[in-house]
Chain A
Amino acid sequence: MKIGLEVHVALPTKTKLFCSDLAYENQEEPNSNVCPVCLGLPGAKPVLNKKALEISVSISKALNCEITEKTWFVRKVYFYPDLPKGYQITQLDGAVGIKGYVDLNGKRIRIRRVQIEEDPARIIHEKDYSLIDFNRSGVPLNEIVTEPDITSLEELKNFIEELRSILYYQGVNINQELKTDLNISLAENRVEIKNVTGVRNLIAAAEYEIKRQTALINEGKKINKETRSYKEDSNETVSSREKETEEEYGFTFEPDLTFYDTTKLEIQKAIIASVVAKELAYKNEYREKTIRELILFNKKNLLLLTSLSKEEFKKGVSLIEKFASFGIEDYSEEDFKKMIKQDISSIEKGEFLRLLGKTSKYEEKADEKEIEKGIIEMLSQDKNLLKRGITDGKAMSFMIGKVKEKYHVTGKEAADIIKKVIKSMLNN
């Protein structure tokens, strides 16, 4: 049995791959995050998102790939209403990562390629037309292509589990959305199951297909080389009437883009840390937000962490979380080294600052009465703020920001006092 996968994962960026529309936020309304670029309007041109490239290099490295020094893109032409330009910008020979592997208890699953590509639009099928939402058009993806090295359902499960862990530390949560094309061949001919959504369906599709092919072999029947799709409702795979279209694709160099140098990316440091993180503590030990925002894409914290021994690593991460939660940003390497020796597991802010020796600046924190007075003043000047008050997230975070800056309190402290003041003002 040979199983190969093409796994598509969405990258944790703020904006899309080639334009500055939001990739994930504010998506409720269809076509609310679109522009000439992701609508494929004539005249628009793509510009590559730096962070998407950095994350892709990092993922490739975590999958033990060789990194292509000058990575480049191709156009893959096919006609479907969800593809606004009539081609998808993707990668092939110039893919960011090639020839990687994932080890599963001694069994090596080779990774052929990690490629950066744009997601097509979301399409709703209706009887006599389709409805298209381009919010998803241009969301950055990595397609991870394995060699057909998986030889059992058990191995497939292990591989996905391993991939989940590795990608978790890259800020990618495959539980949220995973799209996979699956190749399974028990005999000579290869069967491809396209577009399986989610981990559970992937396993179920493979399981069904293995049974189906086994039964055919036992009956002495031939297995057709074909493309099938997985039906979730009936838990089966069915033959797609779609023709083999691979031959038609015809890839060309994407002339609206150029070659991108992966050696000078800041991500080289993230790679080190992600490898350290991977080695040290595997399963769900750190918060996703910590990994993503405080470690992988924070150069200073990365450097601090990579200077630690394996034993100290975990403590280093909690220390970084403490700094962040107390709103301390200007700590130096010495500060960090000093604090790593302390027991900070359940430390309060005051004590933390005392140990750090920075009480003067941060503990100038005014007493609550003074803060309340300041807030009342702010709200009296801007009645609109008072009206929008606590129900409006934007107004709230604006006020929290002001209070934090002026009185050196944490966000939570600021929020508590603001809420209290608003309530009392509204009640009067």
Chain B
Amino acid sequence: MTSSFLSFEDKGYKDFISRLKQENEKLNAFNFIDENDKSGKIISVKDNICVKGMPATASSKILQGYIPGFNATVIERLEKAGFSVIGKTNMDEFGFGSFGLNSEHYARNPFNEEYITGGSSSGSAVATALIKGHVSIAESTGGSISAPASFCGVVGLTPTYGVISRYGLIDYASSLDKIGFMGKSVDNIREVMEKTIGGDPKDTTSLSVTISNKKPNKLYVIDNLMTGVNEVIKDRFEDLLAKLSAKGYKIEHTKIDYLEYSVPAYYIISMSEASTNLAKYQGFKYGFKVKDFSLNYNEFFMSARKQFGKEAKRRVILGTFIRSKSITQRYYEKALAIRHALIARMDKILKEGFIIMPSMPIFTPKISEVKDISPVEAYSMDMLTVPPNLCGFPHMSFPYFYEKGMPIGAQIITNHFNDYSLLDFLSEWESDFKYKFKEEIS
């Protein structure tokens, strides 16, 4: 399906924005909507990516009021290519969450407001579902693109680690954070991707490499990953495999060692890095201000950091614990070793074919069903999205079925730097798949 971006030339923007604001009242897709006139193709941007002159809060109270004076490199490149940013999308605070609920005014599912959106790029998924021909610039650390894309029925592409510059991205875990895209047409996603990839002198970990599109004809199902998946989801996934098999793909089954350790390993690395990345929030240079400078600096910092939400506090505390001298060896280094072991094992399979799996092990839950589940239960929901994220493999969630009106997504993974093969796969998939959305704003 070819589709083009919604774009404005001097007129129509104000009306569009008033319609968008009305929808946003219900769905909380945006933390900020820019009412100044725009011209050109429009995009929205996750609120942890800096856009010059627009608030950047990462949905955290500690960043309330912060307005960066510089653009993230992705934004710099997209503006040069004629794109305009209409606003900043809602998210779990600092990216900490899989459901979208770790935000004061959390986003709601565009198919049914009682349901979660998935997280952490919750608002990007909702905005993409809501706006005609839209692409949202999102970010994934452990599954923050695939999860909400799957629950909101849009495509979410997470590129290879390092392919898109992180300059201007408010860090969660620097060795895992990847800027990526949500959209509902392969052409739009491809256009945005092509404009943003490539090395950046301002980000040491950004890479200048050629991105290939070697599309294999084998699809690997990882049997030991499927054990925790909901039975009905498994059935629907079998149907998908049958469809793909009919399109000429060869379905293979295999197992990967150490996969069961990927979720704890991911949380160990991400919390450890997050606890250092969040050390900069001290309440006087930007964002939330303590104001009472006569407090001793330690009390001052403690008082500022009360602004962190509960999940942020949990992760900072745990990360600090993991980093402390005596236990580094036990957790952190082992997690890095698991990452290394998994990369080697997945790489071997990805040389032969795509890996395919459901994006999430459950149907979209109602907000009330997951609001109070324990952290360990919540973290376990990331079992499918974590492996490619931990190992930096490019992956994509795409909608393939609607169960009682709610979308279900599947996730395919390819080898490092073969990102465009995912878009070629999507192109093929879109040739006889029809996306469904309640209604679109234009």
Stretch from A76-84, A201-209, A373-381 at the B interface: A76-84
Give complex CA distance A77, B328 in Å: 14
Chain B: minimal CB distance from A19 (Å)? 9
A41 to chain B, nearest CB (A): 7
Contact partners of A217 in chain B: CB under 8 A: none
Min CB distance B71 to A, Å, is 9
Chain B residues with Cβ below 8 Å from A393 are none
Looking at chain A's contact residues, is the secondary structure mostly helix, strand, loop, or mixed? Answer: loop
* CB < 8 Å neighbour of B282 from A39, A86, A257: A86
Q: Separation in Å of the B303 CB from the closest CB of chain A?
A: 12
Residues of chain A within 8 A (CB-CB) of B170 are 42-43
Cross-interface CB contact of B204 among A45, A77, A85, A251, cutoff 8 Å: A45
Interface presence of B188 (CB below 8 A): no
Q: C-beta contact mask, B45-66 vs A, less than 8 Å → 1, else 0? A: 0000110000010100001001
Indicate if B276 sits at the interface (CB-CB under 8 A): yes
* Chain B hits for A80, CB < 8 A: 297
Query: Given B49, B56, B294, B301, which contacts A128 in the complex, CB threshold below 8 Å?
Result: B294
Number of interface residues of B (CB under 8 A): 47
Central interface residue in A45, A128, A256, by most chain B CB within 10 Å: A45
A45, B301: Cβ atoms under 8 Å? no
Q: Does A323 contact B (CB under 8 A)?
A: no
Chain A residue nearest to B71 (CB atoms) is: A43
Beyond A77-B323, A252-B323, whether A45 also contacts B63 by CB under 8 A is: no
A87 interface hit (Cβ, 8 Å)? yes
Binary flags per residue of B98-119, CB closer than 8 Å to A gives 1, else 0: 0000000000000000000000
| Min distance, Cβ B295 to any Cβ of chain A, angstroms | 10
Contact A247 B324 (CB under 8 A): yes
- Which of A40, A43, A258 lies at the interface centre, i.e. has the most chain B CB atoms within 10 A of its CB? A43
Q: How far is the CB of B142 from chain A (nearest CB, A)?
A: 15
User: Which of B171, B201, B324 interacts with A250 by CB under 8 Å?
Assistant: B324
Find out whether the CB atom of B273 lies under 8 angstroms from the CB atom of A79: no
A47 at the interface (CB under 8 A from B): yes
| Distance in Å: Cβ of B335 to nearest Cβ of chain A | 12
Chain B residues with CB under 8 Å of A79's CB are 279, 282, 297-298, 301
Complex CA gap A248/B201 in Å reads 34
Point out the residues of chain B lying under 8 angstroms from A248, CB to CB.
324
Residues of B within 8 A of A252 (CB): 272-273, 276, 323, 328, 332
Bound Cα distance from A268 to B414, whole angstroms: 41
Q: In the complex the two chains form, is A39's CB within 8 Å of B297's CB?
A: no
Q: A45-B204, A47-B202, A84-B280 are in contact. Are A39 and B50 (CB under 8 A)?
A: no
Among B161-169, B401-409, B433-441, which stretch is in contact with chain A? B161-169
Check: B174 CB closer than 8 A to any chain A CB. Answer: yes
Q: Which of A237-255 contact B (CB under 8 A)?
A: 247-252, 255
Answer whether A251 and B323 are a contact pair too, CB < 8 Å, given A47-B201, A79-B279, A86-B276.
yes
Question: When each residue 326-349 of chain B gets 1 if its CB lies under 8 Å from chain A and 0 otherwise, what string results?
Answer: 001000100000000000000000
B258 an interface residue at 8 Å Cβ cutoff?
no
B174 touches A256 (CB 8 A): yes
Residues of B within 8 A of A198 (CB): none
**Residues of chain B with a CB closer than 8 A to A75's CB:** 276
Task: State A36–B67 Cα separation when bound (angstroms).
Answer: 12
Residues of A within 8 A of B275 (CB): 77
**Contact call B324/A77, Cβ cutoff below 8 A:** no
**From B57, which residue of chain A is reached at the shortest CB distance?**
A42
Contact B280 A86 (CB under 8 A): yes
The reply on B70 being an interface residue by CB < 8 A is yes
Q: Name the residue of chain A whose CB is nearest to the CB of B66.
A: A42
Verify A44–B167 contact, CB threshold 8 A: yes
Are A48's CB and B280's CB within 8 A?
no
Q: Is B40 an interface residue (CB 8 A)?
A: no
B168 and A43 contact, CB distance less than 8 A: yes
Determine how close the nearest CB of chain A comes to the CB of B354; give it in whole angstroms. Answer: 28
A86 proximity list for chain B (CB < 8 A)? 276, 278-282
Cβ–Cβ contact A45 & B175, under 8 A: no
Question: For residue B58, which residues in chain A have a CB less than 8 angstroms away from its CB?
Answer: 42
Q: How far is the CB of A306 from chain B (nearest CB, A)?
A: 33
CB of A411 within 8 Å of the partner chain = no
Do B323 and A36 touch across chains, with their CB atoms under 8 A apart? no
- Asked if A42 and B50 make an inter-chain contact with CB atoms under 8 angstroms apart, the answer reads yes
Q: A75-B276, A255-B174 are in contact. Are A129 and B204 (CB under 8 A)?
A: no
| B325 located at the interface, meaning its Cβ lies under 8 Å from any Cβ of chain A in the complex | yes
* Interface membership of chain B positions 143-164, coded 1 if the CB is closer than 8 angstroms to chain A and 0 otherwise: 0000000000000000000000
Is A46 on the interface with B (CB-CB < 8 A)? yes
Q: Which residues of A contact B278 (CB under 8 A)?
A: 86
Q: Residue of A at shortest CB range from B60?
A: A42
- Chain B residues with CB under 8 Å of A46's CB are 204
Q: Kindly state the separation between the CA atoms of A252 and B166 in the bound complex, as whole angstroms.
A: 20
Q: Once bound together, how far apart are the Cα atoms of A45 and B281, in whole Å?
A: 16
Q: B203 is contacted by which of A40, A45, A251 (Cβ under 8 Å)?
A: A45
Query: Counting CB contacts under 8 A, is B68 at the interface?
Result: yes
Q: Mark B284-299 against chain A: 1 for CB-CB distance below 8 A, else 0.
A: 1110000001100110
Measured in the bound complex, the distance between the Cα atoms of B320 and A77 in whole Å is: 9
**Contact A81/B273 with A36-B70, A257-B204 known, Cβ cut-off 8 Å:** no
Q: Which residue on chain B has the smallest CB distance to residue A36?
A: B70
B204–A250 touching, CB < 8 Å = no
Q: Is the CB of B294 within 8 A of A250?
A: no
User: Which residues of A sit under 8 angstroms from B69, Cβ to Cβ?
Assistant: 36
B356 contact set on A, CB distance < 8 A: none
* Complex Cα gap A86–B280 (Å): 5
Is B213 close to A, CB under 8 A? no
Are A255 and B63 in contact, with the CB atoms below 8 A? no
- The verdict on A81 contacting B167 (CB below 8 Å), with A42-B50, A42-B56, A47-B201 known, is no
Provide the residues of chain B in CB contact with A257, threshold 8 Å.
Answer: 204-205
Measured in the bound complex, the distance between the Cα atoms of B279 and A249 in whole Å is 12
In the complex, how many angstroms separate the beta carbon of A79 from the nearest chain B beta carbon?
A: 5
B72 at the interface (CB under 8 A from A): yes
User: 8 A-B contacts, Cβ less than 8 Å apart?
Assistant: A40-B280, A42-B50, A43-B50, A128-B293, A247-B324, A255-B175, A256-B205, A258-B205
Name B's A-contacting residues (CB within 8 A).
Answer: 49-50, 56, 58, 63, 66, 68-70, 72, 166-171, 173-175, 201-205, 272-273, 275-276, 278-282, 284-286, 293-294, 297-298, 301, 320, 323-325, 328, 332
Interface residues of A (CB under 8 A from B): 36, 39-48, 75, 77, 79-81, 84-87, 128-130, 247-252, 255-258
What are the nearest 9 A-B pairs in CB distance? A86-B279, A250-B323, A129-B293, A255-B174, A255-B175, A128-B294, A42-B170, A43-B168, A43-B50
With A40-B280, A130-B297, A255-B174 known, 20 other A-B pairs at CB within 8 A are: A39-B285, A42-B58, A42-B171, A75-B276, A77-B279, A77-B320, A84-B280, A86-B278, A86-B280, A86-B282, A128-B293, A250-B324, A252-B272, A252-B323, A252-B332, A255-B173, A255-B175, A256-B204, A257-B204, A257-B205
